[in-house]
Amino acid sequence: MSPERAARVARAVWLGRRRYGVMHALQEKLVEARASEQVGDVILLLEHAPVITLGRKADPDNVLFSAEALAARGVDLEVTARGGDVTFHGPGQLVGYPILDLKPDRCDVRRYVRSLSEVMILIAREHGVESGVVDGMIGVWADREKPGEWAGAPWSHELAKLGAIGVRLSRWVTMHGFALNAEVDLNAFRLIVPCGIRDHGVTSLRDLTGKAPSVRELAMASAPHLARGLDWEVSPVEDLSEVADLEKALLGASARAPDPTLDARP
């Protein structure tokens, strides 16, 4: 790591369970503040209330239920500007949204996406699951038949997706990020064609090993994995899950007029 990079420490924060739309609005404000150098690098860690999101190139047919039917099940539907297709977020899934300025030496989208994969691989390994990447399919994958081994997709018996990635960059400041399935209800993925992939299923740490830590536990212990995977200095994770005014806590003096929607939690 270069001396310049080592001097920049990303602030990591655990936000608890939050609605997707609220966190999307907060990300946009943080990206703007980071691009104008009003705040430093920050990594948001959280879990979402149930939501289906569509990326820039998503096929709407990959959402298998109407918005009304989803709402009746307590599932939000959001259209976003991230990359990727359709995915589900919900309780039991660790979501990470790094807001990082990749300038001057990290202006490489593929490298950044690979670093997010590495973060999830490292977290899964700590909990007894070996996983990896698959050519042509973004995200992190595991072998459901042999979760303690990963030799690559050609040697896997039952390939299943363990973690998803979708990113957006604005002026080389990152937004959106990764979602690692810890103990999420896998039945929720039947509401969609996950990431547009019909040939392989979705899995979780609990599905693979019979046990999983809580999302909070995963988040609070994640700083070393974030640092190693991103090759970035990362502070110990702060617990802001009980903070109502996240805009003030994260934007500080750069915050604009308070936005009451950012206080909302399910």
Exposure of 100 in the CB half-sphere (CA atoms within 13 A): 33
What amino acid positions are annotated as catalytic residues? 195
What is the Cα–Cα distance from 103 to 255, expressed in whole angstroms?
23
pLDDT of 211 over the 60 cut: yes
Integer CA distances (angstroms), 220 to 67, 135, 151, in order: 34, 31, 29
pLDDT of 260 over the 50 cut: no
Mean pLDDT lowest for which of 4-18, 134-148, 213-227? 4-18
CB 241 within 8 A of CB 217: no
Provide the pLDDT confidence category of residue 4 given band limits of 50, 70 and 90.
low
Mean pLDDT lowest for which of 17-21, 187-191, 252-256? 252-256
What is the Cα–Cα distance from 2 to 74, expressed in whole angstroms?
47
Provide the pLDDT confidence category of residue 5 given band limits of 50, 70 and 90.
low
Which pLDDT value is given to residue 198? 80
Cα Rg, the chain, nearest whole Å: 18
What is the Cα–Cα distance from 266 to 160, expressed in whole angstroms?
30
What is the Cα–Cα distance from 182 to 110, expressed in whole angstroms?
25
What is the Cα–Cα distance from 124 to 76, expressed in whole angstroms?
28
Across 132-145, average pLDDT: 95
- Is the peptide bond preceding residue 104 cis, with omega within 30 degrees of 0? yes
